[in-house]
Amino acid sequence: MLDLNSLVAIDVHTHADGPCGTEAYDDAAPTREAMKAYFKHDYETKTVPEIAQYYRERKIGCVIFTVDSEAESGQRRYSNEEVARLCAENDDIMIPFASIDPHKGLLGVREARRLIKDFGVKGFKFHPSTQGFYPNDRMAYPLYEVIAEARLPALFHTGQTGVGSGTRGGGGVRLKYSNPMYIDDVAVDFPDMPIIMAHPSFPWQEEALSVAQHKPNVYIDMSGWSPKYFPPILVRYANTILKNKMLFGSDYPVISPDRWLKDFEAIDIRPEVRPLILKENAIKLLGLR
């Protein structure tokens, strides 16, 4: 159980297996090396217990997940069950999310139900570009129905991705799937399912802000970018009409919480808004209090 009073922040976007589904398997090595070049950061992939200790030392709670892009990428995912099991052993600091490729159909629906019931996962992560689907594709709706029934959040990658960046053909990754406007349909069709749009949504930042402002169940996590690179319009909305819907996320390990928080201190966020972004909004969204 997280001691919310002792935590300085809650990071809603961390990876159990390296960034955006790239794993320590030989078949993912080219993707992993491309990610390191993109982020100019020679990170080390840590085990889940090592990540837990890293966050425990910093008094930061963390949402952690793998990414299942098996159908589109052919790369094996890290086990949802293993992530959940290790989170249960470190539940003073970790909150488990799961990831299921929507192409798995009814098999994925069954897995989602089992992960919620037997493993206590608290949300689900989707990466439309690496999974190769539009978020509003009805193929994914049976999976959303399970998540919505449990009143759990669905977190969607939005905007450009470092996965495949600079590689031949972008590694087959299509950016079009991650336009946040497609999430508007999901928010209409599942109005009681909390939705988190991950990252500053370059080049569709204004679309993301519009969807989050218009739909009560849509939030934005500010992961994947150093705050010093945030576009001014994102900072302006974070300070005002979306101050209750912005969430701290790092995208660990490609961006460390240390770097994110240091750069966050330097941008023009109002003092009364900072605790909302760093912790309070996540507490409310995740039902931690």
Q: Which two tokens stand for residue 276?
A: 């909302």
Residue 27 has pLDDT above 60, yes or no: no
**Tokens 């739909």 — which residue?**
215
- The hierarchical CATH code for the domain 9-285 is 3.20.20.140
Average pLDDT score over residue span 149-174: 87
Residue 112 has pLDDT above 70, yes or no: yes
Task: Look at residues 163, 233, 122, 217 and name the one whose alpha carbon lies nearest to residue 21.
Answer: 163
Rounded to whole angstroms, the Cα distance separating 183 from 133 reads 12
Predicted pLDDT at 20: 42
Residue 149 has pLDDT above 90, yes or no: yes
Predicted pLDDT at 35: 59
Minimum mean pLDDT range among 158-172, 224-238, 266-280: 158-172
Residue 39 has pLDDT above 90, yes or no: no
Minimum mean pLDDT range among 65-74, 120-129, 255-264: 65-74
Task: Determine which helix (DSSP H) or strand (DSSP E) holds 195, and give its type and residue range.
Answer: strand 195-198
Average pLDDT score over residue span 99-117: 98
In this predicted model, what pLDDT tens digit does every residue of 55-84 receive, in sequence order? 999 999 999 999 999 988 887 888 999 999
Average pLDDT score over residue span 174-190: 97
In this predicted model, what pLDDT tens digit does every residue of 199-245 receive, in sequence order? 999 999 999 999 999 999 999 999 999 999 999 999 999 999 999 99
Predicted pLDDT at 125: 98
Predicted pLDDT at 22: 41
Predicted pLDDT at 32: 62
Residue 152 has pLDDT above 50, yes or no: yes
Minimum mean pLDDT range among 25-29, 102-106, 136-140: 25-29
Residue 21 has pLDDT above 50, yes or no: no
In terms of Cβ atoms closer than 10 Å to its own Cβ (0-12, 13-18, 19+), residue 267 is middle
Task: Look at residues 201, 224, 263 and name the one whose alpha carbon lies nearest to residue 15.
Answer: 224
Task: Look at residues 75, 66, 71 and name the one whose alpha carbon lies nearest to residue 31.
Answer: 75
Domain ranges of the chain: 9-285
